[in-house]
Chains A and B, each alone.
Chain A
Amino acid sequence: GAGVSQSPRYKVAKRGQDVALRCDPISGHVSLFWYQQALGQGPEFLTYFQNEAQLDKSGLPSDRFFAERPEGSVSTLKIQRTQQEDSAVYLCASSPAESYEQYFGPGTRLTVT
């Protein structure tokens, strides 16, 4: 079946621009996660949804970062007024109910110039 998909796969933004990154989880998966992965590092947690409820946003680095999942399926991660330090790969993962196994998408590589 279809896995987690993310779009765009690559995004170049000029400093100060707003960007929106999309995640389509596996159909029926209750939980959705966003992670940020800097070059040469492991992914770091940003935020977590259970259905449409954002249960944990403790990893969002600043108030420029905002995530939503209004209908409990597709999620969007928005970054306002991008800065160079926002350059990273943004990974989305989903997992079904009563399972801790997370399934990852291919990521969106964001480059802020």
Chain B
Amino acid sequence: ETGVTQSPTHLIKTRGQQVTLRCSSQSGHNTVSWYQQALGQGPQFIFQYYREEENGRGNFPPRFSGLQFPNYSSELNVNALELDDSALYLCASSRGTSGSTDTQYFGPGTRLTVL
């Protein structure tokens, strides 16, 4: 069973640019969640996708957007990058939704640095 993979592993951008991060879910998983983990902090929930629809969002501005594809892979897009967007971005996939207790399996993350 293939685990959750993310690309790229590291990325450096400048303020104002746009970035796309990618995630490949674990086989058989139809739900993906994205988290932002700033240095020295716990992960913060950005949003969740279930069967290609966003079904939950945390306290992040609209310039954070996402997509989930029919094969359940996913993208996180961030427009107009700010210095505070520098963080580790984690993707997690799971089998179900609606507050299920299904375990979320995390990828290794993408380290984004905004200069």
**Does B bind A?**
no
B residues with CB within 8 A of A: none
